[in-house]
Each structure stands twice: as C-alpha cells, then as structure tokens.
Structure 1
Amino acid sequence: MAHRSIAKVADMSSQLTATTPLASLLAARRAEAHRVTFRVTEDWQQGRTLFGGLLSALSVQAMRDVCGADWPLRALQTNFVGPVSLAPFQVEVSLLRQGKNVRQVKATVLQADAQGQEQVCGILLGVFGTGRSSEIATRRPTQPPVAVAAETATSLPYLPGLTPNFTQHLDFRLAEGAFPFTGGGDWLTRYHLRMKDSAGVDNELIAIILADAGPTPALSQAKNFAPASSVSWALELRPVTKVDPEGLWRLDQDTIAYDEGYANDRAHLWTPDGQLAAFGYQVVAVYA
C-alpha cells in the first residue's frame, strides 16, 4: 500500500531543476590558510539548509586540504548547529593532535548572517588513522539479506515541495519498510541507493553522503507531511576497496527509540558488493 501511494503521485514531479555534480562543487572550493570556502547550489538544499551529508562531506574535504589526505577517515562527529543558506560559507580547520597513527581534526562551519556577522553553523570532529598490522584476526560483518532486490525495488521519485532538493542527485529504491508519511507500521527502512553522478569523487566522501541520505524511519509513522532535522550525527567508517561506481549501495536504518519529538536512529551502509562501509547513530528532531 505504501509503495502504491507514492507511485500514484509520481506524475506530480515537475521538470527537475538544473543540478550541479558534487565534483563541480569540490573543484570550485577555495583554500586559504586554515579556511576553505565553498559555494553550494540550490539543488543540494534540504529545506532551508544544506543537506547535512553534503555539509559533512565538504567539511571532511576541508580537513584533508588543511591537515593532509594521506590517512583514511575512521570516525566523524557532526553537530548541526544552524542552517546553511545558499550564500558562500567557510570551513575553519584546526589540528587538535597528530600522533604516529592517529590525527584528530576539528572543523567549524561559518557563514555570515544578514547583518554580516559570522555565525557557527556546524562543528565537526574527524579522526583519521593509518592502517597498522595486528596479530588479531580480521573480523568483517556479513551483509544481511533484504526482502526486495534492487532490480525490483520501488524507486522514490523526486517530488518538488515534498522530497528534498538534494534527492535529485540520488537513485533511491525501497527494499524494506515504508516510505515517509504513509502511516506504515515499521520502524526500519532498507534502501538500495547510489549517487547518479559520482564521477571524480572518492568512495570516502560518497560513503559520508549516502550514510546520511535516508529519512529517519520515524517519518514512515506519520500520515501527513512533517519536516525533520538532524541534530547530531556520529559516523564510523571502514575503508573499502574496488567499489563499482555504477553499483547500488545499501542503507539499513532503524529507529531505536522515539519520544517527545526526537528519534534515535542507527544506520549501516554497505557497498554494492556487501562490504560494510560505515555505521552510525543520529539524533533527529521530528516536527510531527
């Protein structure tokens, strides 16, 4: 039923707005000392602010620009402090500590308000770590099966005014659970997904974006449209290899608890061939 109700309104989609590939946003950045400036287009917005997964990915790129890109990202903590508008914004980067194997970096997202006063829009902590040999045997989790394969899963259409602008950049297919605002009985969602244009973007940044792309499963409980906003996000990443650039990743999300308008979500992101790429936790404010 949930699948049919979404498909029924798919013809409401108007012509997609012009979109800017992620690689173009990255190429246009400007670095000066400890600050990196970005300008993002309207197609990457989520309501009145920038899509959080993109904000985190751009901030990680700024961390690399200032502190080095030689070690993979192991963990990322993001606090979404305030909205980021379409105006240019800066990411100020500071190295907190670098040891032999681990580098800890702080990034502060800054943007001038209407009065020209610089405001803090986000604070991120990144942990980069080089690989080390270990006598402990490798442990890699196995991807659990889902009810619906990618080839037959229902696609989430872009519906102007209902689905966020940034979803134009994604191929979303529901494998389990219910779409938002359908009054479904599940507190979980499983999506097959990929970026439609990821050329020139490395797997680490793609993983950050995809891990934040799905709406909280709590929204499937709502019967009418209601906004939601991430408050904080803790993400842990696993280095992955040989990722098919055209393949569909999988995002498994569960709302662990919900009360007083806040959802506590857990997510696992898997590569097209079933490698665990990332897992994390979010606190999401739901206005329903």
Structure 2
Amino acid sequence: MSVSNLIESITAEGGTIILERAENWMQGRTLYGGASALIAYTAAIRAFPDLPPFRAGQVGFIAPVGEQFELRSQIIRQGRNVVQIRSEIICDDKIALTAFWLFGTSREANAVHPAPLPDPAPGRPEESVPVKTHTAPSFLKENYDVHYTAEKPVPGSPILRRWTRLKDPSGIDPVSELILMGDTLPPSAARIMQRRGPISSINWSFNLLDTEPRTRDGWWLAETACDHADQGYSSERLRLWNADGKQMLSGIQAVAIFG
C-alpha cells in the first residue's frame, strides 16, 4: 500500500475507514506511529480545509491502530490567528490515538534565532551507505531507504542519526510527509538497554520550524536522542533536517522500555 493509498479514503466527514493490504505499514499489531499520525492529521485538514499554516502537533499513542477504525475531528478553539483541532482514531469503540494540531497565521518576526546545523556534520546523503534493514519492522524495510551518516558513532552514546527517505514518491504535501517521516527511527534508548526487550512510543510532541519544508531528492536527516532513561521510560528528542542541514522539525517523545 502506497502513502497516497493510506489516506485516499479519508473524507471531510471522517467516519469508518478500512485499509486493505496495509501490512507494509504495520509495526507488530499496530500501524506505524508516523502513519497513524498522518491519518489523524489528514482527517483534520480534510474536515477543515481553510486553515492557516500548520505549526505544531501533540500525538498520544494510546492503543494499537488496526486496519479498520473510525475518525473524528473537531475544532477546539479558533482565534484571530490560531486554530486548534483535535482528531481521534477510534478502534473497537475505544480511543486508540488522540492528537491536537495547531495552525497559525504568520506575523512580523519580533525574534529571530535560526536552529543550528547538525553537529557533527552528517555528510551528504548522495554519498552515504545503505543500512541493512532485513531485521527491521516491515513498515521500515518496505517503505524507506535508510543510510548511515558520515560521522562515526560514539560507543555507548544513546544517539541515533540516519539519512532517510521514502522509496517511492509519496504524492502528498511536504508537511504531511514530515509527519510521516518524523517518527521513523527507533528510540535511541535501545542502544543502552541492559537486556533485550520491546520498546513502545507513548506520545510525540513536535514543532514545525518551516511551514513550507523542502529537501533534495527526498532525503531527510533523522535523529533520536535519549535525554534521560530510568524506571522503564525514556525521554527522547526527535529532530529532522533537510539534505542541506536546515532543521525542519523539533520534537520530544516519551517511550516505554520493557524487558
């Protein structure tokens, strides 16, 4: 199932959606988090198409999202400059995902502070080496090209950076593509786990730094970095840069660590 097939049946009215042949977007018994977030975002913008530019999202991964679900969206508040929308994915009559989307008009800048370039320098994606993904979740190996960055990993460092892009052109708008791509890499806490065990994302909050994101040849530099891990949870920092080193997305995520 392509990305466009994933969202083509979503209408302004929401309602029941049945995804046929969505196996390549599954992560165990649930849709990959970026795919389910994209579905919720698409439901919001199709229900309310006349919106300011997208600015930020808060996504709660509550329960597994299967191949059949119901979509609901509503405007929580509409002010002069900012619109906030809540969208939900309902599975088996229970909320499986809830999300808040923030849209805001542009104003004259009263503060300017560009995000830093990625450090250390990741090299060029065109010169990078593919990662072997045969043991990766199906959504990753079926839909993404994943390449190593140029810097050498620091042993024991809970930071993971990779060049990523969709194997096939998505045909979706750039903002939707970033939402799909933003949660691609596994949590970096996996690098410091003392015992093997499953890891599960609980939520994902992020800000879009450019309302018209662009990159070169589909490549994005993705990073997950563990800021703190203890008591079975990890606080992860998620960032995306384009192929020229301009940061496009800044986020944070709570992750449950089992085992």
Q: TM-score, structure 1 length as denominator?
A: 0.80
Give a deviation string over 1:112-162, Cα, whole Å, max 9, x none.
2xxxxx11101111111111223x253221312435523444423332xx3
- Which stretches in structure 2 are left out of the alignment for 5+ residues? none
Q: What residue is the counterpart of 2:147 in the other structure?
A: 173
2:57 to 76, 89, 97: 76
RMSD (CA atoms): 2.3
What residue identity is the alignment partner of 1:140? Answer: P
The structure-2 alpha-carbon separation of the partners of 1:229 and 1:271, relative to structure 1 and needing over 3 Å to count, comes to: same
The structure-2 alpha-carbon separation of the partners of 1:146 and 1:220, relative to structure 1 and needing over 3 Å to count, comes to: same
What residue identity is the alignment partner of 1:122? Answer: L
- The 3-state SS of whatever aligns with 2:245 is coil
1:125 to 70, 94, 100: 100
Task: Indicate yes or no: 2:77 matched with 1:97.
Answer: yes
Matches within 5 A, 1:232-271: 232-241=203-212, 243-244=214-215, 246-271=217-242
Q: 8 Å contact 1:198–1:206 — kept in the other structure?
A: no
Q: What residue is the counterpart of 1:216 in the other structure?
A: 187
Shift of 1:208: 1.1
1:139 to 101, 113, 117: 113
Q: Which runs of 4+ in 1 moved over 6 A?
A: none
The structure-2 alpha-carbon separation of the partners of 1:125 and 1:220, relative to structure 1 and needing over 3 Å to count, comes to: same
- The 3-state SS of whatever aligns with 2:99 is strand
Identical aligned residues as a percent = 27
Q: What residue is the counterpart of 1:158 in the other structure?
A: 133
Q: TM-score, structure 2 length as denominator?
A: 0.89
Q: 8 Å contact 1:73–1:127 — kept in the other structure?
A: yes
The structure-2 alpha-carbon separation of the partners of 1:242 and 1:61, relative to structure 1 and needing over 3 Å to count, comes to: closer
Shift of 1:241: 3.9
**C-alpha separation in 1, matches of 2:58 and 2:152:** 27
**C-alpha separation in 1, matches of 2:83 and 2:211:** 20
- The 3-state SS of whatever aligns with 1:155 is coil
Matches within 5 A, 1:224-235: 225-235=196-206
Q: 8 Å contact 1:174–1:192 — kept in the other structure?
A: yes
Q: What residue is the counterpart of 2:66 in the other structure?
A: 85
- The 3-state SS of whatever aligns with 1:235 is strand
**C-alpha separation in 2, matches of 1:80 and 1:199:** 24
What residue identity is the alignment partner of 1:124? Answer: A
Q: What residue is the counterpart of 1:195 in the other structure?
A: 166
The structure-2 alpha-carbon separation of the partners of 1:98 and 1:36, relative to structure 1 and needing over 3 Å to count, comes to: farther
Aligned length in residues: 255
Shift of 1:44: 0.2
Task: Indicate yes or no: 2:2 matched with 1:21.
Answer: yes
**C-alpha separation in 1, matches of 2:205 and 2:245:** 22
